[in-house]
Amino acid sequence: MLEPLVGKLKPMRIVLASGSKQREVLLRSTGLDFEIYPSSFAENLNPDDYTFKYFVEATAQRKTENVFEVMKYDEKRPDLIIGADTMVTFCGKMYGKPKDNMEARRMIKDLTQSDKPHEVYTGVAIWYKGEIHTFSEMTRVHMTNLTDEEIENYILTKEPMGKAGGYGIQGLAATFVERIEGDVNNVIGLPLCRLVKELKQIVKL
């Protein structure tokens, strides 16, 4: 993150409303100082009520609002809170985090044995001066074909658990991603380039 944005944000108390290690690493790479306070929002919105874009934006907003409600009575309350939500979609269906190996197996089979790309949506919500600003990014991912044995071996690594769509592009899954169209950081969980652009507008740089 380049000056003068870093200078403008430096005196602020900034909070990342996520327990995702991947999002933390990405945001740290900007040089920004921030705290981590994972949201306790249940992520129970009904996907049938939203388009893919608005589903991740609404979930990110609820996460951000949840953390603000917890921290608003602090002696120094946050100046800026960032929340995010990532979801994979394929053939018109949403793919969240697999609940077990069986669900992970189904997801990976769909994404790697169909010869079709899938989409990754990340919604971001930024709380600043009493207002919530939301946006989302979409990245298209093309994966190579995996055999059933390769899928089983991948599941045994436990990497699919806790990852939208059942894979982590920053991990072993990078070996079966042929190409992407869009921001790879968006697939990891935080579209940094777009985030910086939005922050510049929000703090009026």
Nearest to 155 by CA among 111, 113, 105: 105
Q: What H or E segment, with its residue span, contains residue 51?
A: none
Residue 94 CA to residue 52 CA, distance in Å, equals 8
Residue with tokens 């207002």: 131
Let me know if 79 is exposed, middle or buried by CB neighbors in 10 A (0-12, 13-18, 19+).
middle
* CA distances, 20 to each of 34, 42, 85, 154 (Å): 14, 15, 10, 21
Q: How far is CA 91 from the centre of its chain?
A: 20
Of 48, 74, 79, 85, which one is the catalytic site residue? Answer: 85
The DSSP code for 70 is: H
- Quick check: is 100 catalytic? no
Distinct helix (H) and strand (E) counts, the chain: 7, 7
Residue 84 CA to residue 75 CA, distance in Å, equals 25
What are the residue numbers of the active site? 85
